[in-house]
Amino acid sequence: MSPRNSEYLNRPETYIRPEMVSFACSAGSAMASCRAMLTLVILLAAIAAQDWVLDPALPSRLSDKDLARGQALYAENCQRCHGADGDDTSQEGITPLGGLSLRLGDPRNRNFGGPSFRARGRIYSPEEARTLMGYILTLRGEKGFARPDALVSPYLLDRKRSRRTYLVIDVRSESEFRKAHIGNAINLPPKAFAALRRPCLAPDLKNRIVVVYDDGTKLQAAKVWRALYESGHRASAILDGGFRRWVSEDRDITPAISTSLRATPLIDSAAPNGSSRASTAGQPVLRLRFDWRRTVNDRGVRDSSELTDYLHSAGFRGRGCYRLAAGSAPADLLVFELHLLGFSVDQGVDSIHVLPDS
């Protein structure tokens, strides 16, 4: 590990897509013209066959048989490099597949109708590609979450953050940000966020994939993530392990502040956020004692089974109405972690109403 990072650590594609086609035909060559027309027809057909490629809801439109076929294709052609859960990155240049639905908004993924099909020496039919892509979108990643897209690993962010479609928000204090931060990040200090009554992403940033990070506790990152999610910006995630894990993995940091990015990524919205407020009248209220320290470790949020076991021991029983016991951590991190597990959560005045995923 470099001394620079040590200092901060110790502080309290055969996917179905048309290839680029070029052709030339002389004015007097009818045969060449026919070939050109045939190529164009094939090209348009290939494009039409890909309408599903960028749709995160694809798995829900596939039958169990289709998904099983996709799983078999994945095991035969992809698992060797990407691993059973999609997140094996032991081979250089491999991009994690768990939580891919978050990244479908990136225009560069328009050439990702599935994994790198050419690498296995065969061409897939459109139907094969459709079932394979559908299965890939069900992969839960190394930690097994129902919504792995909401959690981004340092490895993945390091590969993606230079793209203009990504917006990285550092929610630590301004002084911490000025000492060092992830390159191209924008600072949103806690005080600036607290001053926003209805936080939402600035209009010119609406098409960005947002990744939020704090020191690693996720307490502040969860507040900002929740505000973004409830304002309707679903392409939002938290950096797993935060800045501390980023530094521990010896990834690049900088004190330089970019002048090409807007100073304030979030603004006040005139409209109320999109979260629901379900009535809890007549429902039994269960007590939940939430200790956030039991849900994280040095590498970020604990995996799905460990998190589920802890929440059960703390009194969580699935769908229902909960009141946080005195001394519990603020609800935002709990809301985020329940989201990872597949629940939708609505916070009332003094209780948390847990809703099934819609």
Report the chain's C-alpha Rg in angstroms. 23
Which residue shows structure tokens 């229902």? 320
Q: Is residue 143 in a domain?
A: no
Q: Domain boundary at 212, 234, 268, which?
A: 268
Does residue 70 sit within a domain?
yes
Q: What mean pLDDT is predicted for residues 224-233?
A: 92
In a domain, 247, yes or no: yes
Q: How many Cβ atoms from other residues are within 10 Å of residue 75's Cβ?
A: 12
pLDDT digits (tens, 9 = 90+) for 141-195: 999 999 999 999 999 999 888 888 899 999 999 999 999 999 989 999 999 999 9
Domain, as residue range, for 319: 285-355
Same domain, 257 and 297: no
Both 52 and 86 in a single domain? yes
Instruction: Supply the CATH number for residue 190's domain.
Output: 3.40.250.10
**278 in a structural domain:** no
122 is a domain residue: yes
pLDDT, one tens digit per residue, over 321-346 is: 888 887 777 789 999 999 999 988 87
Q: In the listed set 234, 268, 302, which residue is the last one of a domain according to the structure?
A: 268
Q: 187 and 260 share a domain?
A: yes
Last residue of a domain, one of 113, 136, 159: 136
Closest by CA position to 227, among listed 259, 266, 187:
266
- Residue 340 inside a domain? The answer is yes
Judge whether 235 lies within some domain. Answer: yes
Token pair 């939940």: residue: 288
Residues in the chain: 358
Dist CA 350 CA 347 (whole Å)? 8
Q: What angle do CA 236, 276, 204 make, to 5 degrees?
A: 35
Q: Are residues 92 and 196 in the same domain?
A: no
In the DSSP assignment, the letter for residue 328 is: P
List 186's β-bridge partners, or say none.
169
- One domain, residues 132 and 155: no
Q: How many domains does the chain have?
A: 3
pLDDT for res 20:
28
Residue 348 included in any domain: yes
Q: What token pair was written down for 112?
A: 């990702």
